[in-house]
Chain A
């Protein structure tokens, strides 16, 4: 029979050994994990762009072609990346430091780190929204917006690429989810046909009113901005609809600003 002191010591020693092993392992592998996470995010953003070759080196394509801007809750530009990240390090750092001052344990060290999951910790008026501007060939530009909402079981999120060709329209979307039902709600991510429906949909109706892209079960009267829901996944699809409505809405002042400044300039900013 062992004394209590011996038992305490035993547990302490074992916990200490396991803690040391785990922290060493974590410290040596965490940079790889963070890089994987970043690549996955860049991949998700690029996959919204039509005709994007996803087998290419995502990191270098993203760094060359995508510029990130930050909008505040009213749609004003807080930071506009005009040069590649390597050439504007100090400006980026000042902008990020300002964001990090808001607290809540949010620490961004790169522009691409900014995500809506972290922004949700702040009050609505303090949030910022990232916008990813993709410079395509022949001066064709895409604006990728981040959206986030609720599915049936947990959070859903995605990226929406918009382009301006006489009208604002969706060029492509990418959705992901935390825990939707496989085969039903999870189809918003897995089903390519569902995502393809969003292509070339408009976000303003004929009268110029903002409508977003609506996901409906039936009664599709306006195929120019309505798509068909996945059968058996009504709640998730309603969530997607709501997420698009609110998510694109966050960027609306910015989008309208681009439009009113100069229609032609949208393509070659």
Chain B
């Protein structure tokens, strides 16, 4: 047993701490398409339905989640060998909650309008399944640098879908992009697109398009 850990420790030393090889690149790019947290794993849907009626708050939400996933992955991965197994989920939640508070305080000081429009959804990042899911599935078993990249990748994968949805919803629901009017005056805004229900079928359409383009995602069963 002692020998095993020694061998493991030696093996860890040989690998560069901040390498960026093929595997690391895959950690970043996988969640963008093949393993997207929203469209493939169908996690984090709650906030994707709620905040995507406009582009700007969605963008802030995406940045906030990227920050929380990547740094919670990093911290948990650094602590992973010391966390007592029986309370690991409590420790994970503690770290996530702390980071979410950081986001809330920083937003309140530097991006007040976004802080106001996102309101409760910032706090609800704590319950976002993507964060806890990546901690359990990846950070508890991998080294810090890789965990950080995994968190970054998943956060970006979530953010890309979020912003794409927000662009569609704001364009058709309000005729604008980031608050600027882009549709001609004759266009009558479709109020349905602003309602949360619209994001359900927009996600559905996204999943449909993605599955028909990506052969890896075809359900063989």
Contacts and interface: CB of A to CB of B under 8 A. Distances in A.
A59 interface: no
Interface string B82-125: 11101100110011001001100110111011001001100000
Q: Is the interface of B mostly helix, strand, loop or mixed?
A: helix
Given A7-B87, A183-B191, A184-B191, A29 B105 contact: yes
Contact of A14 (B91, B101, B108, B119): B91
A7 B86 contact: yes
B151 interface: no
B53 interface: yes
Contacts of B94: 11, 14-15, 18
Interface in A8-25: 10-11, 14-15, 18, 21-22, 25
Contacts of B105: 22, 25-26, 29-30, 33
A40 B98 contact: no
A10 B112 contact: no
Contact of B195 (A11, A39, A40, A182): A182
Given A36-B108, A183-B191, A10 B98 contact: no
A22 B91 CA distance: 16
A256 interface: no
Nearest to A26: B105
A32 B91 contact: no
A11 B90 contact: yes
Interface string A211-242: 00000000000000000000010000000000
B194 interface: yes
Nearest to B196: A182
Contacts of A100: none
A6 interface: yes
A22 B100 CA distance: 10
> Which range holds the interface residue count of chain A?
20 to 34
Given A14-B94, A182-B194, A29 B108 contact: yes
A55 interface: no
Nearest to A36: B112
B153 interface: no
Interface string A147-185: 000000000000000000000000000000011011110
A37 B173 CA distance: 29
Q: Is the interface of A mostly helix, strand, loop or mixed?
A: helix
B54 to A, nearest CB: 8
Contacts of B120: 179
A18 B195 contact: no
B61 to A, nearest CB: 14
A11 B84 CA distance: 9
Contacts of B82: 10
A6 B86 CA distance: 12
Contacts of B191: 183-184, 232
A268 interface: no
Contact of B109 (A22, A36, A40): A36
Contacts of B108: 29, 32-33, 36
Nearest to B120: A179
Contacts of B84: 2, 6-7, 10
Name the residue among B112, B120, B173 with the largest chain A CB count within 10 angstroms.
Answer: B112
Contacts of A30: 105, 109
A37 B112 contact: yes
Interface in B68-88: 82-84, 86-87
B87 A182 contact: no
Contacts of B109: 29-30, 32-33, 36
Given A14-B95, A182-B195, 17 more contacts: A2-B84, A7-B84, A7-B86, A10-B82, A10-B91, A15-B94, A18-B95, A21-B98, A22-B105, A30-B109, A32-B108, A33-B105, A36-B109, A36-B112, A40-B113, A182-B53, A232-B191
Interface of A: 2, 6-7, 10-11, 14-15, 18, 21-22, 25-26, 29-30, 32-33, 36-37, 39-40, 178-179, 181-184, 232
Interface of B: 53, 82-84, 86-87, 90-91, 94-95, 98, 101-102, 105-106, 108-110, 112-113, 116, 119-120, 173, 191, 194-195
20 contacts: A7-B86, A10-B83, A10-B87, A11-B87, A11-B91, A14-B91, A14-B95, A18-B95, A21-B98, A22-B98, A22-B102, A32-B108, A32-B110, A33-B108, A178-B119, A181-B195, A182-B194, A183-B53, A183-B191, A184-B195
